[in-house]
Amino acid sequence: MAVALRLALLLVAAACACLFLAHPVWFPDGVSAQSAAIDHQFAIAFWILGGLFLAAHAVLAVCLMRSRRSGKPRNSYGDWRMEAAWTLAIAALFFGFNVAGVRIWSKMKFQQPESNAIQVEVTGVQFQWYFRYAGPDGVFGHVDAQRFARPQEGNPLGLDPGDSDGKDDIVSTVLVLPVGRDVDLTLRSQDVIHSLFIPAMRFKQDAVPGMSIHAHFRPIKTGAYEISCAELCGIGHYRMRAVAQVVSDEEFKRWLKAREVQK
Amino acid sequence: MPTISSPPKERTPGLGGGGPGKIPSRRGYGGGDDGDRRRPEKFLSYQSRLRRYRIGVALFSVCVSMLFLGIASVYVARQRIPYYDQNTQAFMSTWKAIHLPYIQLWLNSLLIVAGSITLELARRGQIKKAEFASMGILPPSLEREVPWLSITLLLGAGFLAGQLLVWNNLRHQGVYLRANASGAFFYTLTGLHAIHLVGGMAVLVYALLGSWLRRRFESQQIAVDATGWYWHFMGFLWFCIFGLLHFSRA
Amino acid sequence: MEELPSITTTVKPRRLLRRYVFSTDHKVVGLQYFFLSLAAALTGTLLSLLMRIHLIWPNLALPFFGTIKPENYLAYLTMHGTLMVFFVLSLVPQSGFGNYFLPLQLGVSEMSFPKLNAAGFWISLLSFLVLLAAFFVPGGAPGAGWTQYPPLSALAASGPGQALGTDLWLVSIGLFCLAAVTGSINFITTTLKLRAPGMSLMRMPLTCWTWFVTAILSLLAFSVLAAAVLLLLLDRNAGTDFFVPAGLIVSGAAVHHAGGSPLLWQHLFWFFGHPEVYIAILPGMGMTSHLLSVFARKPVFGYRAMVGSVVAIGFLGFLVWGHHMFVSGMNPYAAFAFSTLTTAIAVPSAIKTFNWMATLYGGRIRFTTPLLFSVGFVSLFITGGLTGPLLAQPALDVYLHDTYFVVAHFHLIMAMAGLFAVFAATHFWFPKIFGRMMNERLGILHFWITFVGAYAIFVPMHLLGMAGHPRRYSELTGVQYVAAMAPLQKWITIAAVVTIAGQIIFLVNFFWSMFKGAAAPSNPWECSTLEWTLPSPTPHAGFAGRLPVVNHGPYEYGVTGREADYLMQDAEA
């Protein structure tokens, strides 16, 4: 039984490591400016934690060797030098690792988006994402969902018909973005908490009703990237999806113009 | 015969190992609710029981404090949440200040403090009686013994009545639970406090009727002792709530 | 042992009801909690089985349950989480084993407040029944997850099950908070005031230390949950606006609330929720330390460090709740603080892990079922725990929050490791409780299936999270990249079905051994703590009338120059 247990620990640890190395599913390719740093941090994390995982299981397997010695081994009550050593080692490792991630978080949250960032207002509704662009005047119109929202009549966000700023606002169910420019999202919700999750952009932010939360990122590659909802919002949570369509700058301008003309 | 007088021979405790530490000098007599089964009790057992109930009340007070701290922290945070008003396109506060009826509130404070005092007098009187009881002597019935316990209950009832008057006052101001955040917190905090006070008063009623219910005197005394401490805590909590409502009202 | 006068009654109550049902005997109360948890665990496991099967075969019409619709799935999800976290992991290790064995290990005959203790159990039972009632009311059980974030949980119109079902859930949890608090008061008072002569705090077994610290955590955390539950109930039924902001529109109907904040619920809930996970795991850690020492025939390596780390984990556990809220819209500066504090908790946890290994090293290890499960605990704790520092980093948590990565993390470290500690403790203490030994072969078989199964289910789940699969999805067909991961989900389901089937072995072993197991001597494992000085099964009187006097520490193993290789705690000095 001793041998079986030790072997099992090693095999299980090895199997897990192999699974991670083989990764039948994995992170999607990162296509935002921040994804490289985040993926790098993930890689460091997996190597360190993976190494610790394997080492710990190897040590555990070694410790399970049954001793034939009689009596109490030396230091059986404890050894404060060893305690101090491994405590300091672990603390240094984990805190060092933590500090490395701090810079990425600062960049994500405390760096302002560029001045030419696209402003998009994202509204989560049970069970649909809406993306609003300000239109040529660059000003978002007044929205009051309780008074004006009429999803059946093409006004799901509740744009105030009396507000001239809102007349040119473009509401889309596709998040169209130009490549290489920051996009400053303002996340809102009409009903319950939703969460805008774009895995390819390594982006996630909760859309909390009663709050307008700003978050930004910069797509660096064209393509269509799926958006999902990452906060339980009701029975349709699983199908609350959208697409982030990243296109060239000209394509983006063309799309905007086409939508403006439609209005 | 094994004794516990000589210290056991063990290694000096190091950082790694467990040492003997402090050896309790008292003996815990097997614990438990020694019960109102009219058995002769040893003095030590009653003392340890009293201490346990005091600790129990202290722990319960900690629990109640956390409950109120949770609500108070929501209260403080909620006040500072700005609300982006669509019509004026600006951040506003939806906090509607309420006018606290200070006279009534101070009167209530007086009542609860008076209750603390009378209950403390009751508690000390009972401890004296308990000393007689533990020696097997029936506690002498003193003439002109003031019924502090009953007075405390009256004062407590007075406090609760006063709280109802405060609530009435707020109703006349148009402040209800719904549609008014500061009102909601006021009613919640004071209501919870009142409920907890009623709980304490129920234990006092048990103590008062104890001899009628054929409960042992010591159990009654422990009930009064525990409730005494609990009442002091309720008074302290009341002032904290009062202070919070006053200083955070704007 | 000194002869001390007996105070408590040593006579068993004659009436059956008084003896086995409405008993104030801590042993009966402990067993009552244990069986309540067992019922909850069976229900919770059934729900998880339904969930897993539905994910892979969504249109399958199951007998009795029919086809599972999204609202059913979410209801099962919510109730599975609630049952397992509250009624299994917060009850069995603490109120189940703790009630039975804390007084015995401390060498006393009763808890501090036996009537209160019994009341705690009956309130827990009531809470359980109220929770189950949610399945049978119109609208069904709530579907907002065990975390019940408002406004989803505050607005009855936001989904099925959000009406009466949620109210019942809230009442149930409110009652549970009350029961938890009464239990905690008992544990703390007993540990502080009722110990046998000579049982200093530093001579207590580590199980007693973890029960003590867990009780303190319970006392503080459940009170705050009670506050949150009360405020949510008021929001739902009294028209207050603690958590629901203004301007909402649900299913086309305007919601008449104004000015609350959903984030306030999250703060309150996670201020409870994080200590809650330590409440779930600390007793298991204590049991593992205890069992590894017994079966390695060596003292616990670094007893004082173990005590210190338990206290440190308990304390730090109150300071890290924000790591559940990195993407919630909380102030990003707060994220720095919470992240650092969360990483700090990794340090005492690592100390404990090293000490467990060092306890085993060089020991004359006896490979019994309790030892196997304890080693399994250490392994699963390592695996689940290592993903903690990863999630503690906000930059990485942004991606992994609310994905299956988090689900894998907490299932490994809380559910699986915690469960292994419960299995270990059950096998270990079964002889003391029932006077019979559990079957070793069945135990070993059960261990292997569960150990391999736990890894097979939850390690691949990390990959799902890394690929961006959000959690709480009732179907895999909504989002395309999620649908692409169906094969891995299928593997997880198959592994889960096999592992759950393997638990039948445990149930068979448990109930069969209760009646037909080999008769157990009073100290079959040669353990040195005080409960093993009593006959097996423990007589009703326990230590009443014969309080032991403690002269030694709890882990005096590997002793030479004597017939046995260990010293009982009450052996002569």
Q: What is the DSSP string of C309-358?
A: HHHHHHHHTTS-GGGG-TTTT--HHHHHHHHHHHHHHHHHHHHHHHHHHH
Instruction: List the single residue in A with minimal CA-CA distance to C327.
Output: A205
Radius of gyration (Cα) for chain B, nearest Å?
25
Cβ within 8 Å of C, B 130-189: 177-179, 181, 184, 188
Q: What are the b/e assignments for C442-481, b being 16+ CB within 10 Å?
A: bbbbbbbbbbbbbbbbbbbbbbbbbbbbbbbbbbbebbeb
Please judge whether B17 and A78 are an interchain contact, meaning their C-beta atoms are less than 8 angstroms apart.
Answer: yes
Q: Using DSSP, state whether C99 is helix, strand or coil.
A: helix
Instruction: List the single residue in C with minimal CA-CA distance to A42.
Output: C396
Q: Which two tokens stand for residue C401?
A: 């929050």
Q: Which of A77-81, A165-169, B210-214, C148-152 has the highest mean pLDDT?
A: C148-152
How many structural domains compose chain C? 1
Q: Which of A250, A195, A241, A188 is nearest to A222 (CA)?
A: A250
Q: Which of B179, A241, B73, A192 is nearest to C147 (CA)?
A: A192
CA–CA distance, C568 with C554 (Å, rounded to integer)? 8
pLDDT tens digit string along A179-190? Answer: 999 999 999 999
CA–CA distance, A46 with A17 (Å, rounded to integer)? 10
What percentage of residues in chain C have a pLDDT greater than 70? 97
| E strand spans, chain B | 83-85, 90-92
Q: Which of C90, B18, C455, C571 is nearest to A9 (CA)?
A: C455
- pLDDT score at B40: 38
Please judge whether B16 and A80 are an interchain contact, meaning their C-beta atoms are less than 8 angstroms apart.
Answer: yes
**Which residues on chain C are in Cβ contact (under 8 Å) with B71?**
227, 230-231
A81 CB within 8 Å of a chain C CB: no
- pLDDT score at B89: 61
Q: Contact, B30 vs C108, CB < 8 A? A: yes
Q: Which of C463, C85, C254, C470 is nearest to A232 (CA)?
A: C470
Whether C69 maps to a domain, the answer reads yes
pLDDT at B27 over 50: no
What percentage of residues in chain C have a pLDDT greater than 90? 77
Mean pLDDT across A163-175: 89
Cβ within 8 Å of A, C 381-420: 382-383, 386-387, 389-390, 392-396, 398-399, 401-403
CA–CA distance, C213 with C352 (Å, rounded to integer)? 15
- pLDDT score at A12: 95
Mean pLDDT across A125-132: 94
**Which residues on chain C are in Cβ contact (under 8 Å) with A228?**
468, 470, 479, 481-482
Instruction: List the single residue in C with minimal CA-CA distance to B65.
Output: C223
Please judge whether B86 and A144 are an interchain contact, meaning their C-beta atoms are less than 8 angstroms apart.
Answer: yes
CATH class of A118-262: mainly beta
User: Which of A168-182, B23-37, C340-354, C487-501 has the least mean pLDDT?
Assistant: B23-37
Whether C448 maps to a domain, the answer reads yes
Q: What is the DSSP string of B85-104?
A: ETTTTEEE---------HHH
**Which residues on chain C are in Cβ contact (under 8 Å) with A98?**
339-340, 343, 389, 392-393
- pLDDT score at B87: 58
Please count the residue pairs, one from chain A and one from chain B, whose beta carbons lie less than 8 angstroms apart.
23
Please judge whether C181 and B60 are an interchain contact, meaning their C-beta atoms are less than 8 angstroms apart.
Answer: yes
Nearest to A191 among C143, C250, C386 (CB): C250
Q: What is the ipTM of this complex?
A: 0.95
Mean pLDDT across B41-70: 85
**Which residues on chain A are in Cβ contact (under 8 Å) with C248?**
145-146, 190-191, 209-210
Q: Which of C121, C103, C187, C205 is nearest to C542 (CA)?
A: C103
CA–CA distance, C272 with C226 (Å, rounded to integer)? 9
pLDDT tens digit string along C502-561? Answer: 999 999 999 999 999 999 999 999 999 999 999 989 988 888 777 888 888 899 888 877
Nearest to B15 among A80, A210, A212 (CB): A80
Task: Provide the H-helix boundaries in C10-149.
Answer: 16, 26-56, 70-82, 97-106, 114-133
Q: Which of C180, C421, C134 is nearest to C284 (CA)?
A: C421
Domain membership of residue C151 as a residue range: 27-243+258-533
Q: Which residues contact A59 (CB under 8 A, 6 or more apart)?
A: C357
Give Cα separations from C73 to C130, C149, C151, C472, C481 (angstroms). 20, 17, 20, 9, 21
Please judge whether C301 and A87 are an interchain contact, meaning their C-beta atoms are less than 8 angstroms apart.
Answer: no
Longest dimension (CA), chain C: 82
- pLDDT score at B80: 77
Indicate the pLDDT class of residue A61, thresholds 50, 70 and 90. Answer: very high
Q: Which of C213, C207, C278, C279 is nearest to C432 (CA)?
A: C207
pLDDT at B18 over 60: no
- pLDDT score at B14: 34
pLDDT at C8 over 60: no
pLDDT at A88 over 70: yes
Q: Which domains does chain B have, with CATH numbers?
A: 43-247 (1.20.120.80)
- pLDDT score at C367: 94
CA–CA distance, B220 with B206 (Å, rounded to integer)? 8
pLDDT at B8 over 60: no
CA–CA distance, B168 with B165 (Å, rounded to integer)? 5
Length of chain B: 250
Please judge whether A80 and B14 are an interchain contact, meaning their C-beta atoms are less than 8 angstroms apart.
Answer: yes
User: Which of B213-222, C10-19, C22-31 has the least mean pLDDT?
Assistant: C10-19
Q: Strands A194-198, A203-207: parallel, antiparallel or unpaired by DSSP?
A: antiparallel
Touching subunits of A (3+ CB pairs, under 8 Å) are B, C
Indicate the pLDDT class of residue C1, thresholds 50, 70 and 90. Answer: very low
DSSP conformation class of C15: S
Give the CATH number of the domain where residue C417 resides: 1.20.210.10
Indicate the pLDDT class of residue B2, thresholds 50, 70 and 90. Answer: very low
Cβ within 8 Å of B, A 223-262: none
CA B41 to chain C, closest CA, distance in angstroms equals 8
Q: Contact, C343 vs A96, CB < 8 A? A: no
pLDDT at B35 over 50: no
Q: Which two tokens stand for residue C183?
A: 């239990």
Domain boundaries, chain A: 2-63+82-110, 118-262
CA B53 to chain C, closest CA, distance in angstroms equals 8
Q: Contact, C443 vs C524, CB < 8 A? A: no
CA–CA distance, C152 with A234 (Å, rounded to integer)? 7
Q: Is residue C537 reached through a cis peptide bond, with omega within 30 degrees of 0 on the bond before it?
A: yes
For chain C, the first-to-last Cα distance in angstroms comes to 12
Q: What is the pTM of this model?
A: 0.92
Indicate the pLDDT class of residue B86, thresholds 50, 70 and 90. Answer: low
A223 CB within 8 Å of a chain C CB: no
Length of chain A: 263
